[in-house]
Structure 1
Amino acid sequence: MDDLPPSLVLEILNRLADSADLARCRVASKSLNVLSRDVRSVNLFCSLDRYLKSRAAETKLLVTPFKVILKTLVNDFLALDSVSIGVEKSLGRISYEHDDVEDWSDDLFLTDVGYAKEWLPAIGKNLTSLSIVDFWVQSCWRQSKILALITLCCCNLLELELKNAWLSVDGLHRMNSLKYLTLEFIRLDDEDLSELNNNFPHLEVLNLIGVGGLNEPKIRLLHLKTCKWTVSNAPVSLCIYAPSLSKLELKCVKPKFLIIETPMLSDFHFCLEDASGLQVDEFPCLRKLHLHFPCLHSLITTFSSARTIKELTLDTMQRAESVESVKFCLDTVFEIFPNLCFLKLGPGVLSEAETCYQAEGLEGRMGMRDLKKNHSSLKTNKIELKLPFIIPILEKCTDSFDMALLLYQNADSDVTGGIMSKRAINQRRPRWRWELWKQGSREAWAKGN
């Protein structure tokens, strides 16, 4: 290391994934200690092992408190532009019922604004990225005003990520610089999201994952381009007004009102538990659509016409056995989405389509002339019985059609060999391949051209 130029050593220190290693380097070498003051990022996470040792009677006095390590590192570095701190995912298993949990402890309450004031103001002006993953057991019952501190101190912040906390929105300052915001498993005291809209007006990427405390929330962001919103409760209404939004992933239960005004939307992933009464206006720029719903027929028929969509993915939350589920068929799909190039059918969807096929067959109007790829998942114990349904689909396809079928079944060589021999007789033109999910991993065991 002594023979390396200082600039290269500094680059190596900047690339350390865990700043605990950086702290060890500082103790091991005076030159590394000096160079470390110019590192640009801190990444420090408390592990489950450290947490348990800090609680065990025989080791707790030997463990340096996590907050002390963090404050020392941050205060010693002069050029920080990125800070990522928190607890590892393994600590998520810790619950109030755990013998080692003390409700009143705050040693891992990282969104504690009093503690943050000891280190954030000194480095905030230069920060462009900040991530804090709190310890839910300690933070869920303590309201934090850290958002106000961040908006006051971090005037050049571009990316902000906060997880596992109860956040107040009192005293926020407008942040025109912030482009990326992620709030995950957050109790947010902003029922309609008005404070978020007003104080972060230039957001381009917004992720709201399991954010509670919302009532009739409305996203109004002119510059938003990408949004992922997983609604944890059941608000009366959801509204998104985002004229620049191109990609949206929305998962919700059953809002009474759902308003999406996004004229530039081109990629839409929509998961809804109940679509009754839902009406969908046409999205003029929509190209990719992913629908996830217990009964797909009632959802896809809310799209009166979707001629712009080229890629469609259909998933069901469960294998529906109701009479309504029988209505789902491939003919309906191609009537509503007539210009598809790619179609992906998740587990259970192809089986529902087969039920319809057994009752009604495949009509000649099924528009698969433009379809180039089909990826489907099929749960079955006897693939041979599915061939009368699969082969007619292939016969309606063009020469350039590519089909991949994932089989959730352990198949021996005799069974697979018999399937492939039948395929060779019945399937002439389209390219297709069978792939097998086996012990949690996908293994391709046969391909045909």
Structure 2
Amino acid sequence: MDDLPPPLLLEILSRLSDSADVARCRVSSKTLNSLAREIRCVNLQCSYLRYAKSRSPLTRSGITPFKEVFYKLISELPIVESVSIGVEKPLRLVAYDDVEDEEDDLFLSDFNFVKAWLPKVCGNLRSVSISDFWVQSCWRRSDVLSLISSYCANLLELEIKNAWISVDGLTPMPKLTTLTLEFIRLDDENLEKLNECFPWLQDLNLIGVGGLKEPKIHLMHLRKCHWTLSNAPISISVIAPSLVKLTLKCVKPNLLLIDTPLVIDLNLSLESACNFIVKEFSHLEKLHLDSTGLRNLLARFPYGRTVKNLTAVSTRWEVPVGVSKSILELLLCAFPNVSSLTLTSGVWSELETYPALGVLDSWAQMKGLKEITAYLTVNDIEVTVSTIFALLDNCGGLSSMAMFIHRDVVSNITSNLISKCMAHCTRVRWKWGVWKEGTKDAWISDGI
């Protein structure tokens, strides 16, 4: 390998995703050892095996502390543009109750630890990722955000996972465009500091962020947002005039306000909201609605003439007394120009159980409908077959039908259903798959 041109060797080293692999290459060759100092990215992850060895009385004396390994590695690089330090996924899944750990060797958002290396490399840093060991970080409050904001004026991307984060001393970071906080306890209950200090964010990911009371995202330049709340705040607001993609998962807020007039792709999951306020979506094309109270949610949703791709998820359904419209009919009325429709098992089961509410004749008005994907439980094969046939007969423009059958349905019933449907209608392209809660969908055949 030493015979290869140095630029090529450096390119090979730079493509190694794990800095531990780079260290092994350095030991094997003087040339690689010399070139490795020109690498500008550090990515070091602690494995479960390393953690276990560091705790074993038989091997712990021969294990160099993880923080020490990282500090030595980063100190040897003159220019660093990207830093990623953390614990691998199996170690992240270790529960606090499973181990009594008073150590801090994997408390990676520790203020003193970060302050030891950050000032040396901050001038060229563009990306920082810290994934803590929750067992050690969950009861230690960290001021790492204020430290990063003080030193990293040119930072573009910041990611922090599995930590208790304070916003005390946080200063504005006008160049930061991407922020990810995942499984974080955040001392900013209304997100006031986040809005104030990250004004130019374009991509925001708040996954399982707790400690929130009445959080409001109010960012003028935000383009993408993925927000999953781990608790049940009183109210939730998203005000983002430039937003084009929003994924929001919450429980039962008293108030939910969404003011995102340019959004194109919306994925909304919630049980219910006492007050659901949504401004008009004049550009919405792709919509995913997931709710145990889907009927009530649809009744408050604005008319969606621009929606082309629609997915409806209802995990619990019933037809209240006095209600004459099914969830399906509400979908058709609210989104008349849909070309691709996905119905999960709850919506489909309502259609099978209450055919009088199915309003299958109204499907003929949906001339633009080209694709249907449905998740079936097949409690009665004749009912399922007749429902599918009715859809086919009333939707002349359909060109594709994808049917996912529950894995618990016996194989001969599945085969019988497939053969009947494909024999009944040859004009559509059939696709068949299986599904089950908590598992990944799988295709079983792709017919004509």
With normalisation by structure 1, the TM-score equals 0.93
Residues 95-140 of structure 1: CA distance to partner in whole angstroms, max 9, x if unpaired? Answer: 33334x32x2100000001011111111111011110000111111
CA contact (8 A) 2:368 2:397 kept: no
What is the CA–CA distance in structure 2 between the aligned matches of 1:440 and 1:235, rounded to whole Å?
31
More deviation in 281-290 or 140-149?
Answer: 281-290
Selected match of 2:430 from 407, 429, 432: 432
Q: Does 1:362 align with 2:359?
A: yes
Among candidates 110, 122, 127, match of residue 124 of structure 1? 122
Cα shift readout 1:361-414 (whole Å, capped 9, x = no counterpart):
534223331101111111225544410111110112234521111111367775
1:417 & 1:347 partners in 2: Cα distance?
A: 19
Name the counterpart of 2:83: 83
2:287 aligned to which of 261, 286, 289: 289
Q: CA deviation at 1:295?
A: 2.7
Secondary structure of the corresponding residue to residue 116 of structure 2: coil
Greater displacement, 360-369 / 331-340: 360-369
* Deviation (angstroms), 1:230: 0.6
Q: 2-side partners of 1:440 and 1:361: how far apart?
A: 29
Task: Evaluate the alpha carbon distance shift between residue 211 and residue 329 of structure 1 in structure 2; reply closer, same or farther with a 3 A threshold.
Answer: closer
Cα RMSD for the two superposed structures: 2.2
Shift of 1:328: 3.0
> Is 1:314 aligned to residue 320 of structure 2?
no
Paired residues for 1:43-82 under 5 Å: 43-82=43-82
Structure 1 pair 168/329, CA: closer, same or farther in 2 (3 Å)?
closer
Select 1:351's aligned residue among 349, 374, 378.
349
CA distance in 1, matches of 2:397, 2:368: 11
Name the counterpart of 1:219: 217
- 1:200 alignment partner in structure 2: 198
Quick one: which amino acid aligns to residue 30 of structure 2? K
Task: Tell me how far apart the structure 2 counterparts of residues 239 and 185 of structure 1 sit (CA, whole Å).
Answer: 20
Give the match for residue 18 of structure 1: 18
**Paired residue type of 1:292:** D
2:39 aligned with 1:39 = yes
Query: What is the distance in 1 between the residues matched to 2:275 and 2:193?
Result: 31
Q: 1:409 to 1:383 in 2, by over 3 A?
A: farther
Deviation string, structure 1 residues 285-342 (Cα, Å, up to 9, x no partner):
11111100013211112124211211111112x3435647995342221111111111
Residue 219 of structure 1: SS of its match in structure 2?
Answer: strand
Structure 1 residues 279 and 145: CA distance shift in structure 2, 3 A:
closer
Superposition pairs for residues 208-247 of structure 1, below 5 Å?
A: 208-247=206-245
Mean Cα deviation higher: 328-337 or 224-233: 328-337
Q: CA separation of 1:242/1:9 partners in 2, compared to 1, >3 Å: closer, same or farther?
A: same
Q: CA deviation at 1:148?
A: 1.1
Structure 2 residue 411 is matched with structure 1 residue 380: no
Report if aligned partners of 1:110, 1:132 keep a CA contact under 8 Å in 2. Answer: yes
Instruction: Name the residue aligned to 2:2.
Output: 2
Q: Answer whether contact 1:348 1:379 (CA < 8 A) is retained.
A: no
Match of 2:104 in 1: 106
8 Å contact from structure 1 (residues 47, 88) kept in 2: yes
Change (3 A) 1:235 1:161: same
| 1:322-361 equivalences in 2 (<5 Å) | 323=320, 328-357=326-355, 359-361=356-358
Residues 220-241 of structure 1, C-alpha deviations (whole Å, 9 max, x = no match):
1111000011111111111122
Would you say how many aligned residue pairs link Structure 1 and Structure 2?
444
Alignment check: 8 A CA contact 1:397 1:430 kept: no
CA distance in 2 between counterparts of 1:231 and 1:177 reads: 26
Deviations 1:41-80 (A, max 9, x none): 1111111111111001001111111001100111111122
Counterpart CA distance in 2 for 1:6 and 1:356 is: 71
Q: 1:360 to 1:320 in 2, by over 3 A?
A: closer
Query: What per-residue deviation string (whole Å, max 9, x for no partner) do you get for residues 7-34 of structure 1?
Result: 1111111111211111122222222111
Q: Extract unaligned runs of 5+ from structure 2.
A: none
Mapped to 1, the partners of 2:431 and 2:299 lie a distance apart of 31
Question: Percent of aligned pairs with the same residue?
Answer: 49
Q: Secondary structure at the residue paired with 1:119?
A: helix
Shift of 1:161: 0.3
Q: Is the 8 A contact 1:203 1:223 kept in 2?
A: yes
Give yes or no for contact 2:261–2:283 (8 Å, CA) kept in 1: yes
Q: Is the 8 A contact 2:255 2:275 kept in 1?
A: no
Checking the alignment, whether the CA contact within 8 Å between 1:312 and 1:343 is kept in structure 2 is yes
Structure 1: give runs of 5+ residues left out of the alignment.
Answer: none
- Which secondary structure does the structure 2 equivalent of 1:265 belong to? coil
Task: State whether residues 281 and 302 of structure 2, in contact with CA within 8 Å, keep that contact through their aligned partners in structure 1.
Answer: no
| Structure 1 residue aligned with 2:264 | 266
Three-state SS of the structure 1 residue aligned to 2:53 is helix
How big is each residue's C-alpha offset from its partner over 1:234-289, in whole Å with a ceiling of 9 and x where there is no partner? 11111122110111111111222222221111111101111444343321111111
Q: Secondary structure at the match of 1:234?
A: coil
